[in-house]
Amino acid sequence: MIARVIVTPKPVVNDPQGLTVKQGLGALGFTEVTDVRVGKYIEVKLEDGSEHEARRRVEEMCRQLLANHVIEDFHFDLEQEHKRR
């Protein structure tokens, strides 16, 4: 099972990294860019199990370690791995 977690700064929180990227893109001529927000992408591989249980566990991982809930939001998708033996 693979969980693809995306952690983003909350909309009300300043994002200096995003601002810097926006300015960098502008300097390169990408003047159509109006806003940039930078977050994290985390791919977590899990031992096989039920999707329901995996969802509960990954949510717990986000709360305990992957995201700072004061300043960040998170969401994730789960995907079953299809292995050939």
Which residues contribute to the site for a second copy (CB under 8 A)?
A: 6-8, 18, 21, 24-25, 28, 30, 32-47, 49, 57, 60-61, 64-66
Shortest Å, Cβ 70 to a second copy: 18
**Do 45 and 2 contact (CB within 8 A), yes or no?**
yes
Closest to a second copy by CB, 32 or 85 = 32
What is the rounded distance in angstroms from the CA atom of residue 56 to the CA atom of residue 84? 27
What is the rounded distance in angstroms from the CA atom of residue 68 to the CA atom of residue 62? 8
Shortest Å, Cβ 65 to a second copy: 6
